[in-house]
Amino acid sequence: MRDVLIRGIPEDTHAWLKTAAEDNNRSMTAEVLEILHNARQRAEAARGRLARVEAWRKKYLPDDGCELDELVSIVRQGRTHGH
The Cα–Cα gap between 46 and 37 comes to 14
Residue 2: pLDDT band by 50, 70, 90 thresholds? very low
Residue 57 lies in a domain: yes
Residue 1: predicted pLDDT: 40
Answer whether residue 36 is part of any domain: yes
pLDDT in tens, 26-83: 667 777 788 888 888 888 888 888 888 888 877 877 666 667 777 777 778 875 555 4
Range of the domain at 70: 11-77
Q: Does 83 map to a domain?
A: no
Evaluate whether 61 touches 80 at the Cβ level (below 8 Å). Answer: yes
Q: Is the confidence at residue 5, as pLDDT, over 80? A: no
Would residue 73 count as lying in a domain? yes
Q: Is residue 2 part of a domain?
A: no
This prediction's pTM:
0.45
Q: Report residue 8's pLDDT band, with 50, 70 and 90 as the boundaries.
A: low
- Number of folded domains in the chain? 1
In a domain, 6, yes or no: no
Say if 5 falls within a structural domain: no
User: Does residue 4 fall inside a structural domain?
Assistant: no
Distance of CA 36 to the CA centre of its chain: 12
